[in-house]
Amino acid sequence: MIAQNKILIVEDDPTTSLLYQGALRSICSEFVVFSGIKPVFHLLQKEGIEHIDLILTDLNLPDGTGVELVREIRKKNSQIPILVITSESDAVSIIDVMKENVQDYLIKPVLPKELAKKVEYHLSKRSLDYKTSILEKEKIISLEKLLDWYSFKNRSLERGEFNAQELHKNLFHVLRASLSQGAGFGILVQIIDIIKGMKQTEDGDYILEKDVLSILEDNANYSKKVLNTFAEIENIIFGRVEEEVVPLSIVWTEIISIVGELESQLKIKHHSIQMTDVSQYQMDSVAIQWNRDYFRKSVRELLINAMKFSLDSSTILVLLQLKSDSISLSIINSVGSDLKMGEGIPNEYLDLVFEPFFRLTKNLYERYETLDFGIGLSLVKETIQKFGGSVLVSNILDHLGETVEPKVEFKITLPHSPSLK
């Protein structure tokens, strides 16, 4: 008999509670359901919660708050996974409750598949001791950046706009317009104020000092790169990118070319790249749909990303696999000290890394000449989806060496195209 997972649900709306239970039936769970925090407090005092495997609670309850509930639970148990559910208006509450060592959160309306995925993951990790760490503090900071995006997304969902492509159209269009008008680039405004305080000619023209002009140019160039990236994402989601069908051999040749162009970046941390060996005959027999420029940008972004977060003097693997109906391209790197996260990317972040402006660290990587703006992987995701494929990131363990080594794998999967044009 399959062992049952017991989940405590704290939700005052009976219909919503039934919805959650329905979404989690596939995980073979049994449920303890309360409509407020007082019954949970009684349970803690009388029986404890050792028999509970996971707690799912709303933040807004009729007899108290989710923060109060979490604090009381943590006094008794530091290990049990807690997931909170909130509405888009609870921005401050989300930050407060995450500081109480909550494992995850969902924003209403809750999608059943998303709920099941998060619950299943945290049940698999319930034996771990969840203690507040540097990583948890970074999560809180990242949450603040994500709240605006989730608020926007969920307002659209409530209006019935369930089309993810349309959501991204609105998001990137608004952000690009805002950035084009100067929002977000306060340094440029400050420099203009400095210029206004400089000497003027008789005609009223400002005499710019070289150092100020250099700073102005650097920031203007950075701003231009950011805006160009937004324009590229817009082009993808608005369908302005031309596509063609090409044999896989051409794609592979292009990947080899990209690797060759990254020689100077590889030297920064003494990295090397090892590529898989696939026969020319096999590659000539398969075709995929692509856009050369956008595919190059995507592969280059993933390779640079691997270099940033790999151990010094390590090898980055580029593996090509041919399947009956698709091809997959994997870029695998060791876990460097920059992440400070132990064995790879925390599983709760594996989807978030593709969200706009989400960053695992606040480090800047000027030597790699990247934006470090949190939109590179968003461009990769939009591009690969445009070609009918998917891109995923996962943590893997390499058993080939003398010791088991944690690594991170970004995998692009693209379907075969039926014919060459």
Please report which confidence band the pLDDT of residue 178 belongs to, taking 50, 70 and 90 as the band edges.
very low
Q: What is the mean pLDDT of residues 381-401?
A: 90
Residue 78, pLDDT > 80, answer no
Alpha helices (H) in 91-209, listed in sequence order: 91-98, 112-124, 134-158, 164-180, 186-196
Tell me, what's the pLDDT at 322? 92
266: confidence class by pLDDT, cuts 50, 70, 90: very high
Above pLDDT 70, what percent of the chain? 74
The β-bridge partners of 315 are 272
Instruction: Collapse the DSSP code of 53 into the 3-class scheme (helix H, G, I; strand E, B; otherwise coil) and give the result.
Output: coil
pLDDT at 419: 64
Could you read off the pLDDT of 13-43 as tens digits, one per residue?
Answer: 888 888 899 889 888 778 999 999 999 999 9
User: How far is 29 from 5, CA to CA, in rounded Å?
Assistant: 5
Torsion over CA of 374, 89, 25 and 70, rounded to 10 degrees? 90
Measured CA to CA, the distance from residue 403 to residue 401 in angstroms comes to 5
How far apart are alpha carbons 371 and 365 in whole angstroms?
8
The partner residues of 181 in beta bridges, in order of sequence, read: none
Average per-residue pLDDT for the chain:
79
Give the integer Cα–Cα distance in Å for 312 and 239: 40
Q: How far apart are CA 226 and CA 230, in angstroms?
A: 6
For position 385, what pLDDT does the model report? 92
Q: Are 179 and 226 in contact (CB under 8 A)?
A: yes
pTM above 0.95, yes or no: no
User: Residue 408: pLDDT band by 50, 70, 90 thresholds?
Assistant: very high
CA angle 28, 13, 157 (to 5 degrees): 85
| N-to-C CA span, the chain | 54
At residue 150 the predicted structure's pLDDT band, cuts being 50, 70 and 90, is low
Q: What is the DSSP letter of 228?
A: H
Does position 139 have pLDDT exceeding 60, yes or no? Answer: no
Who has greater pLDDT, 269 or 134? 269
Taking only the tens place, the pLDDT of each residue in 307-343 is 998 989 999 999 999 999 999 999 999 987 665 555 6
